[in-house]
């Protein structure tokens, strides 16, 4: 098999890159380790920056998002029973879009299938060969049959545990990591959201987040111990704990119901450098992880795709290599800013095991400064809606 761009990973970033390349007549093949149903069954965040929305529009995949997604002009932040709002559009002129990652992925699959895009599922034993040469290739097996895919470039969109990052030699890549001493217990429930915008809550009992997928499907989180498992928490226990962590007016209005999904996510900040080795490019979780507090995971992947897509477009249409040559440096500059925001917001909203009374006073002072200072609110809003590409 031959293609111009081999894409490892059939999640939203790999599919988005494939669809964008298709709009310019650039051929790609997507190799996915799991089944389509498995990929669509993963529950992920759904707050999209304006840059991501514009990429979906450019890919021709934004119609359902615009008809079913929710435009949010701000968010609420609480501490104890105090609560205030950050107005995104007032400070930046931009909103965010609430639209589930599963739905983004579904739309991208539909677009690739309509266009006759080449997607292989149940791909095993993937090995990236010759990435540091002019003739890279990917060997793999599909249904027990050995295959080799010859290509011009390889895009590694296969996540933190994929083969792409591991392909870059240890003496070339450097990794930076911070592991947080808590996790997020999240549930999905077929209940109306408690508020029409997200609520981020700092409580003496720990962090909580009230989010949603649509007007009948809610997503809630509470900070929990890393030693917890979902089975330790009954639905009743979860709802009671959530109510203790959010302001009383919202706790009284909360409609509880059976969970249809329950899981615990650990939190980490992670970056690998460089994000390019020869003709191999890392995108999304293959290169970096952010804690979910600032809703930057999918959005940082989208910025990678923006830089890589435009670099490949310039290469194939104009013979210009500046975009692909500068991909890693340009992508990393934005990634580190997103890492900073996610680290800052996580530090602001969570309770840490080793926090002293002084630390807690400083945390509340920081929140109250944010509440009262217009410049601080603008800085947060600019980061939340997404820094420019």
Active-site amino acid positions: 72, 200, 292, 296, 384
Helix (H, G, I), strand (E, B), or coil: what is residue 132?
Answer: coil
Dihedral over Cα of 193, 196, 199, 205: its sign: negative
Give DSSP secondary structure letters for 13-75.
Answer: HHHHHHHHHHHTT--EEEE-SS-HHHHHT-----EE-HHHHHHHHHTT--HHHHHHSEEE-EE
- For residue 177, give the 3-state DSSP assignment: strand
DSSP result, 213-264: EETTEEEEEEEE-TT--GGG--HHHHHHHHHHHS-HHHHHHPPP--EEEEEE
Cβ neighbors of 54 (< 8 A, separation 6 or more) are: none
Please, are residues 68 and 45 in contact by the beta-carbon 8 Å criterion?
no
Packed helices 12-23 and 297-318: angle between N→C axes, nearest 10 degrees: 30
Distance of CA 225 to the CA centre of its chain: 22
The H or E element containing residue 302 is: helix 297-318
Instruction: Extract the runs of DSSP E, i.e. beta strands, from 49-156.
Output: 70-72, 74-79, 82-87, 96-98, 118-120, 123-129, 137-142, 145-150, 153-156
- Tell the residue number behind the tokens 């809003």, with chain if given: 381
| Buried-exposed string 51-77: b where 16+ CB fall within 10 A, e elsewhere | bbbebbeebebbeebeeebbebebbbb
d(CA 3, CA 268): 35
CB 45 within 8 A of CB 96: no
């Amino acid at each position: 098999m031959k293609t111009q761009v081999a894409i490892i990973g059939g999640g939203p970033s790999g599919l988005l890159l494939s669809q964008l390349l298709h709009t310019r007549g650039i051929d790609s093949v997507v190799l996915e380790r799991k089944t389509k149903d498995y990929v669509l069954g993963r529950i992920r965040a759904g707050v999209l920056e304006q840059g991501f929305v514009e990429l979906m529009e450019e890919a021709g995949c934004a119609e359902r998002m615009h008809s079913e997604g929710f435009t949010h002009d701000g968010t609420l932040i609480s501490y104890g029973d105090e609560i205030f709002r950050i107005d995104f559009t007032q400070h930046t002129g931009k909103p965010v879009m609430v639209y589930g990652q599963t739905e983004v992925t579904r739309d991208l699959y539909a677009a690739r299938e309509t266009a006759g895009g080449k997607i292989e599922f149940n791909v095993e034993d993937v090995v990236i060969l010759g990435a540091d040469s002019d003739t890279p290739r990917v060997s793999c097996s599909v249904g027990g049959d050995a295959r080799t895919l010859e290509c011009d470039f390889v895009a590694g969109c296969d996540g933190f545990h994929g083969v792409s990052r591991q392909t870059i030699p240890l003496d070339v890549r450097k990794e930076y990591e911070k592991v947080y001493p808590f996790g997020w217990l999240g549930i999905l429930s077929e209940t109306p959201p408690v508020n029409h915008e997200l609520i981020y809550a700092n409580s003496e009992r720990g962090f909580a987040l009230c989010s949603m997928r649509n007007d009948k499907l809610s997503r809630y989180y509470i900070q929990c111990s890393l030693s917890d498992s979902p089975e330790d928490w009954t639905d009743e226990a979860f709802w009671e704990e959530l109510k203790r962590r959010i302001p009383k007016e919202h706790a009284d209005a909360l409609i509880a119901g059976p969970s249809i999904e329950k899981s615990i996510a650990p939190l980490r900040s992670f970056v690998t450098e460089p994000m390019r080795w020869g003709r191999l490019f890392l995108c999304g979780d293959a290169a970096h992880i952010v804690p979910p507090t600032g809703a930057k995971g999918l959005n940082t992947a989208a910025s990678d795709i923006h830089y890589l897509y435009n670099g490949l477009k310039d290469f194939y249409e104009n013979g210009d290599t500046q975009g692909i040559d500068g991909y890693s440096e340009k992508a990393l500059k934005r990634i580190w800013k997103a890492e900073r925001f996610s680290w800052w917001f996580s530090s602001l909203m969570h309770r840490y095991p080793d926090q002293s009374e002084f630390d807690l006073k400083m945390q509340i002072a920081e929140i109250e400064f944010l509440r009262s200072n217009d410049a601080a609110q603008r800085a947060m809003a600019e980061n939340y809606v997404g820094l420019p590409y």
